[in-house]
Structure 1
Amino acid sequence: MIKKGIRRQIVLHYFFVVFLALLLVEIIFLFAIRSYYYDTIYRHIELHADYVADLSQPLRMPGQSLNANLINNFKIERTLLEVLDEQGNVIINSTGFESDRKIQTSDVAQALAGGNGRWVGKQPETGQQVMAISKKLSGIGGDNIYILRYVTSLDVVNDRLFYITLLSISVGAAVLTIVLIFSIGLANSIVRPLNEITEVSAQMAEGKFDVRIRGNHPHELGELAATLNYMAQEVVHTNQVKDDFISSISHELRTPLTSIKGWSETLNSGGYDPEETKIGMQIISKETDRLIGLVEEILDFSKLQSNEMKLVMGTVDLRELLQEIMLNVWAKAEMKKIKLNLDAEEQPYLVHGDGNRLKQVFLNIVDNAIKFSSENSYIFISLRKADQQIAVSVQDTGIGISEENLQKVRDRFFQVDHQNGGTGLGLTISQQFVERHGGEMLMDSVLGQGTTVTVKLPALEEPGVPSDFVEAETKAGAHK
């Protein structure tokens, strides 16, 4: 007995469908065979009866008596020939014995109606299965009416049909046995890999993400196995990235905290001149701002992941926004003697968005360009409007990104160069903000030659709309 489960369901369903199909085919086949045998007998006797009707002229002559020898000339081997009157009384038969019984079967009535009558049933006297075929014969002028009736036994035919039925049932049973064996094998081929996948999944649920589903499984099972293997691989990768992030952020937090603590203790001890105190306070302020930036970046990412980030939408001029950003990073660029160039026509470049978040996006992109550019290099910022879109491109001539890292650089916590610090969330957050504004962020880079980051945003249709025309708070993802 097959225990409950998918294997049992597959076997039962497959077996049941084939059983119904075989049953239907056998019923149709046996019905067709029976009809073929019965129709063959009927057509043979019918043709003979028609032949007799054409040649039985003596039966049609007025006043002519029926001759037994004449009747015997028209009988068929193993078939009883009877001649009846209109009332169904047997006048004469091919056996030569007189019969006083009255025939009232349906074939007689059909013959009297003008057609060839056919009846299949059991003889009252013997209980034998027979077929009777009747045909009306009329004398000249219609004064004498006779019924020519042939009766033949169906025992031989029924025995043959019974044998064919047993044979078809045996063949059907053999087919069902083969189907049962095949369905069990088919069920095992499905259930066995499912059991393996279930076992591996249970181990993954326990945290063993180094296990993998082995073997090349076909079709959907193969896709399921590949998906689970990929999931485990991604979990391992995510855990590694998370560990790297924790290690990196711990270092990033420790460095400013160490500076703040050191200078705080130094200043608290007293005895320093005002100039040295000023330097210490500047370092504390700078490191505090750095800490605030790190914490805000982590908070922004957390809010984006939980869809709690709110956007204050309005009209933003990207040209003015980029000019403001260039002023913000000017001092940092000057330290590395990097030249910032803005290429934009003297016209408004208006978009519908959150000015602070868009500033955060472009500030992060430009800051990265400065961070990864060498001294005495250039950063080109361009603004273009086409096809109802505004494209902002930031191109640097820095270290560039390899093709392998370019596919991962926007993944959360990923950092191309861990020595430059940061959380590895800047580009992830920037991309999500761009997508929330209905835009897209593209990156193109060649290792050792530089990187180009392009942000495309939908242009505002009506430049004259005031900045407070539509000011609403929407949850993050509402404009994705």
Structure 2
Amino acid sequence: MIKKGIGRQIVLHYFIVVFVTLLMVEVIFMFAIRTYYYDSIYNHIVNNASRTTDYFKKFVSSIPEEDPTYFADMIRTFAIDNTEGEILNRNGEVLINSTGFKLDKPIQTSDVTQALTNHVGKWIGREPGTGELVMAVSSPLQFKGETQYVVRYVTSMERVNAKLMNITMLAALVGVIILAVVLLFSIGLANSIVKPINNIRAVSAQMARGRYDVKVKGDYRYELGELADTLNYMAQEIVRSNQIKDDFISSISHELRTPLTGIKGWSETLTLGGFDPEETKIGMQIIAKETDRLIGLVEEMLDFSKLQQNEMKMVITKVNLKEILQETMLNVWAKAEQKQIQLKLEDLSEGQVLVAGDGNRLKQVFLNLVDNAIKFSPESSWILLTISVKEHMGVVEVSDNGIGISTEHLRRVKDRFFQVNHQGGGTGLGLAITQQLVELHNGEMEMSSELGEGTTVMVSIPLLDEAEMEELITKQIEDAPVEES
């Protein structure tokens, strides 16, 4: 007995489909066989009746009325094995038959009625006296253009029906054998599907309990193979994600501890007093610097949280990308000067490059990209910012000749919490946030890099569509909260 589950459903459905198909085939087959046998008998009798009719027309010019001797000779001449021949008058009364058995009642079956209308008649039914199933074929015997008599042949169908029954039983036996074979094959088929599913289910249950080291083993094909590979890949990604989170927690703990230690140390030192104004000023500057650093870390994590929860508010306005880049360069100029890095802006566009976007968020994008370029570039190097227009897109490229990124890390550098260099500081969220901000502007961000040669980041933002801009501004005005007076 197959227990409840997908295996039983497969076997049941497969069995039902084959059973219904076999039943239809056998019904059609038996109907065809019965029709073939019955038609063969009918055609044989009709051919014989036709010869009898032709003989009567051709050789009988005048006959004594109801001459039993003549009719008896004709019945014997055109006799059929296992078939009774009869001559009837127009009233259906039997004048003579091949068995010599005389009937008291006239025959009024449909074959006789059809023969009296100059057609060959056929009737299948049971004899009143014996209850035997018979086929009767009647043909008219015409004299001087009128139907005077009917020749009727009656044959039993019991032997044919018995043979048909044997064929039916044989066909049913073959059907049962086929169904048994189908059942065995369907059970095997169900097991070939259910066994891998049970294996995958068991592995997924272990994964649900936190065991990501287990793997789905087995060379499964088609969708099951894809499911197994997907589950194994999911486990690898969870392990990798957990490792990244652990690294992030370790990194962010370090990042938070360092400024907090500096703030606490100088706070306690300044509390003791006894310092000259210059030393006090240095301590306060360090406290302010470390406080800004903490604020930056917290804001980065808050931005990432908002982006993940789709809560980032965007104020869409008309933004000039050239102005954003110029402001960005001014903001990072001092930091670049400390490493003697030259910042260059190359304008390949003709006129203004206007996009619909949030100016502050776009500035955040380019600040993060340029800040990363400064962080990972050597002293006395350069960073080039290029702006151009390509295929109705405003394109900004940030290129440097810094340390570059390996091919392996380049594929993952935009993943959240991922850091190429854990000693470089930061949360590993900067590029992930940048990527999502660009996507919120319906743009794209692509990176290309070569280890030891430098990195180029290309950001593409759709150019401003005036009609779309008006629609966005109108929507923002409608969605803005109304202040109560």
Could you say which TM-score interval applies, normalised by the shorter chain? over 0.9
Question: Which residue pairs with 2:386 in the alignment?
Answer: 382
Structure-1 separation of matches of 2:441 and 2:47: 91
Query: Does the 8 Å contact 1:310/1:474 carry over to 2?
Result: no
2:122 aligned residue (111, 114, 118): 118
2:363 corresponds to which residue?
Answer: 359
Contact 1:351 1:458 in 2 (8 A): yes
Preserved contact between residue 344 and residue 384 of structure 2 (Cα < 8 Å): yes
Separation in structure 2 between the aligned mates of residue 61 and residue 139 of structure 1, nearest angstrom: 9
Q: For residues 6 and 346 of structure 1, what CA distance do their matches in structure 2 show? A: 66
1:11 CA displacement:
1.1
Where does the alignment leave 5 or more consecutive residues of structure 1 unmatched?
Answer: 476-480
1:296 paired to 2:294: no
Distance change in 2, residues 1:315/1:114 (3 Å): same
AA at the equivalent of 2:140 = K
State TM-score, norm by structure 2: 0.94
Aligned to 2:39: 39
Comparing 73-82 with 246-255, greater Cα deviation is found at 73-82
Post-superposition offset of 1:125: 2.0
Q: TM-score scaled by structure 1?
A: 0.95
Q: Kindly state the Cα deviation for residue 381 of structure 1 after the two structures are TM-superposed.
A: 0.3
Q: Are the counterparts in 1 of residues 139 and 151 from structure 2 also a CA contact under 8 Å?
A: yes
Residue 157 of structure 2 corresponds to residue 154 of structure 1? yes
- 1:214 aligned partner: 217
Q: Distance in 1 between the 2:352 and 2:285 partners? A: 38
* Cα distance change, pair 297–373 in 1 and its aligned pair in 2 (3 A): same
Residues 1:412 and 1:474: Cα distance change in structure 2 (over 3 Å) = farther
Secondary structure of 1:248's counterpart equals helix
Residue 461 (structure 1) shift = 3.5
Offset at residue 473 of structure 1 (A): 8.6
Q: 1:59: how far off?
A: 5.0
Q: Distance in 1 between matches of 2:474 and 2:405?
A: 39
Tell me by how many angstroms 1:10 deviates: 1.2
Aligned partner of 2:9: which letter? Answer: Q
Q: Contact between 1:62 and 1:140, CA under 8 Å: does it hold in 2?
A: no
- CA distance in structure 2 between the partners assigned to 1:12 and 1:311 by the alignment: 57
Name the SS of the counterpart of 1:119 in structure 2: strand
Aligned match of 2:12: 12
What is the match of residue 347 of structure 1?
351
Mark the CA change 1:226 to 1:193 in structure 2 (over 3 Å): closer, same or farther. same
Letter in 2 for 1:80: E
Question: Does residue 69 of the first structure (1) align with residue 73 of the second (2)?
Answer: yes
Give yes or no for contact 2:316–2:473 (8 Å, CA) kept in 1. no
Q: Identity over aligned residues, as a percent?
A: 61
Q: Does 1:317 align with 2:320?
A: yes
Task: Find the counterpart in structure 2 of residue 22 from structure 1.
Answer: 22
Q: Does 1:175 align with 2:186?
A: no
CA distance in 1, matches of 2:135, 2:386: 102
Distance 1:80 1:210, change over 3 A: same
Specify the alignment match of 1:459 in structure 2: 463
- Higher alpha-carbon deviation: 55-64 or 210-219: 55-64
| 1:248 lines up with 2:248 in the alignment | no
The equivalences for 1:127-166 within 5 A come to 127-142=131-146, 145-166=148-169
Aligned to 1:50: 50
Write the distance in 2 (CA, Å) between the matches of 1:200 and 1:338.
54
Distance 1:154 1:471 in 2: 89
Partner of 1:287: 290
Letter in 2 for 1:282: Q
Q: For residues 56 and 470 of structure 1, do their structure 2 counterparts lie closer, same or farther at Cα, with a shift above 3 Å needed?
A: closer
Query: What does the per-residue CA deviation read over 1:65-99, in whole Å, with 9 as the maximum and x for residues that have no partner?
Result: 24122321111121110011111110111123433
The runs of 5 or more residues in structure 2 that have no matched partner are 480-485
Q: Given that residues 125 and 135 in structure 2 are in contact (C-alpha distance below 8 angstroms), is that contact kept between their aligned partners in structure 1?
A: yes
Distance 2:386 2:181 in 1: 74
Matched, 1:185 2:188: yes
Give a deviation string over 1:219-245, Cα, whole Å, max 9, x none.
221122111111111111110000000
Residue of structure 2 equivalent to 1:335: 338
- Is the 1:301–1:429 contact (alpha carbons within 8 Å) kept by the matching residues of 2? yes
Distance 1:357 1:94, change over 3 A: same
2:482 corresponds in structure 1 to none
Distance 2:62 2:276 in 1: 159
Question: Structure 1 pair 260/152, CA: closer, same or farther in 2 (3 Å)?
Answer: same
Structure 2 vs 1, CA of residues 469 and 81 (structure 1 numbering), >3 Å: closer, same or farther? closer
1: CA distance, partners of 2:320 / 2:234:
43
Deviations 1:327-370 (A, max 9, x none): 11111111111100001157322111111111110000000011
Q: Deviation of residue 100 (structure 1)?
A: 2.6
The alpha carbon displacement at 1:158 in A equals 1.4
**Equivalent residues, number:** 472
Higher mean C-alpha displacement, 314-323 vs 53-62: 53-62
- Secondary structure of 2:131 counterpart: coil
Rounded Cα–Cα distance in structure 2 between residues aligned with 1:280 and 1:14? 82
Task: Tell me the distance in 1 between the aligned counterparts of 2:21 and 2:297.
Answer: 70
1:274 aligns with 2:289: no
Q: In 1, distance between residues paired with 2:304 and 2:145?
A: 113
More relative contact order, 1 or 2 (CA 8 Å, 6+ apart): 1
Instruction: Give distance in 2, aligned partners of 1:224 and 1:40.
Output: 60
Name the structure 1 match of 2:483. Answer: none
CA deviations over 1:152-189 (Å, ceiling 9, x no partner):
11222112111101100000000000011111111111
**1:474, CA displacement in angstroms?**
11
Residue in 1 that maps onto 2:268: 265
